[in-house]
Amino acid sequence: MRKNLIASVAFLLASSTAVLADGASDGKVKIGILNDQSGVYADFGGKWSVEAANMAAEDFGGKVLDAPIEIVDADHQNKPDIASNIARQWYDTEQVDAIMELTTSSVALAVQAIGKEKKKIDIVTGAATTDLTGKACSPYGFHWAYDTHALAVGTGGALVKQGGDSWFFLTADYAFGYSLEKQGSDFVKANGGTVVGAVRHPLASQDFSSFLLQAQSSGAKVVGLANAGLDTANAIKQAAEFGITQGGQRLAALLFTLAEVHGLGLEAAQGLTLTEGYYWNLDEESRAFGKKYFERTGRMPNMTHAGTYSAVLQYLKAIQKAGTDETDAVAKQLHEMPVDDVFGRGGAVGPNGRMIHDMYLLQVKKPDESKEPWDYFNVLATIPGKDAYIDPAKSGCDLVK
């Protein structure tokens, strides 16, 4: 009798484990959107990325493997310590399965390290440093929307080819800025240009006067803005006050999106060259998604918002295909599955976690060229993904054989 009882208990435990191995382990799939919702990147990502994530969950049907999909969000205030505390709380006590968006490179690096430690997936759509899929890569970390290399290839390459062969960089003083400056400098030099100098400014600067005076006196043909969000917008406004473009120098916004152009206005932003991974007015498919997003937010999406939609959708597809939300099984599918949606058309994920997709070189229209609200860009070129992103074998990621 005792042997039969032990055998029955063992069978029940084995059956229970088998149930947990398939489907959603805790009866739901919970995704955390962690980003800047109150600072310099609030329009770049912020609550608008949260809306994109909700939209993806709804479009998927609200459930995966018969388990409800839940989106939670928090403001990391661009501080790695705050982001790390939230991530640990989400993972340890709130049963969050994956964290996404992660604006600000220092934050993304910190949270990806925690995800690696705890075997949890992160998909970065808001940060730019190539270290995420380079020396800091993780088997559970994915980089989705863009990175500093793609931005340098796009914007930097265009201006060097147009004669902008001497550069001065105005750089945000943290990991993202350093990476963008390095990638931009390397690309300028590789194409025969020179970098005559650089200056670094604190995140969320209000006064760029001293930095812009240094750029002006450098004599460089191009002032490369290796920053983002309100920092870039404020630098552009103040550059106009100093007469930098009137004096013959060009401004290159190395990370500037539709959201920031809208905030700055066409009068101030006209003529800027930039690179994005999505533009709502690119074609009929892009317009359909853009208008659907506009109906719920009152604004058109940039590449961070569209990229977050794509990341959430692909994560849910990976769970569906794996038949479980277990991390290793889902990560395997994310590495193997092609990406084919309104953002990542014909995309593929490399062994280092980098999603490789086309980027678009864009130029801000003059006010009289804009035909409707949010019609801000002329599309100058499509940059194939294989040219935009670093070959995974050369990324420095120790996961690449």
Question: Domains in the chain, start-ordered, CATH in brackets?
Answer: 28-146+283-357 (3.40.50.2300), 162-276+362-388 (3.40.50.2300)
**Residue of 140, 232, 150 whose CA lies nearest to 183:** 150
Determine phi and psi for 350, rounding to 5 degrees: -80, 170
Q: How confident is the model at residue 3, as a pLDDT?
A: 40
Question: Where are any strands of DSSP class E within 36-151?
Answer: 63-64, 67-75, 98-101, 121-124, 141-143
Q: How confident is the model at residue 284, as a pLDDT?
A: 97
67-75 vs 63-64, strand pairing mode: antiparallel
Q: How do the pLDDT tens digits run along the chain, 401 residues long?
A: 434 433 433 433 333 333 334 778 889 999 999 999 999 999 999 999 999 999 999 999 999 999 999 999 999 999 999 999 999 999 999 999 999 999 999 999 999 999 999 999 999 999 999 999 999 999 999 999 999 999 999 998 888 988 999 999 999 998 889 999 999 999 999 989 999 999 999 999 999 999 999 999 999 999 999 999 999 999 999 998 999 988 999 999 999 999 999 999 999 998 898 999 999 999 999 999 999 999 999 999 999 999 999 999 999 999 999 999 999 999 999 999 999 999 999 999 999 999 999 999 999 999 999 999 999 999 999 999 999 999 999 999 999 98
Asked if residue 144 lies in contact with residue 352, where contact means CB atoms within 8 angstroms, the answer is: no
Predicted model pTM? 0.91
Q: Map residue 32 onto helix, strand or coil.
A: strand
Q: 340-360 as b/e, with b when 16 or more CB fall inside 10 Å?
A: ebbbbbebbbbbbbbbbbbbb
CA contacts within 13 A on the Cβ side of 215: 34
Q: Map residue 180 onto helix, strand or coil.
A: helix
* 273 DSSP β-pair partners: 252, 363
Asked if residue 37 lies in contact with residue 28, where contact means CB atoms within 8 angstroms, the answer is: no
- Give how far the C-alpha of residue 175 lies from the chain's centroid of Cα atoms, to the nearest Å: 14
d(CA 398, CA 300): 38
Radius of gyration of the chain (CA): 22
Q: How confident is the model at residue 20, as a pLDDT?
A: 38
What count of other Cβ atoms lies within 10 Å of the Cβ of residue 122? Answer: 27
Read off the tokens for 163. Answer: 């004669």
Q: Map residue 164 onto helix, strand or coil.
A: coil
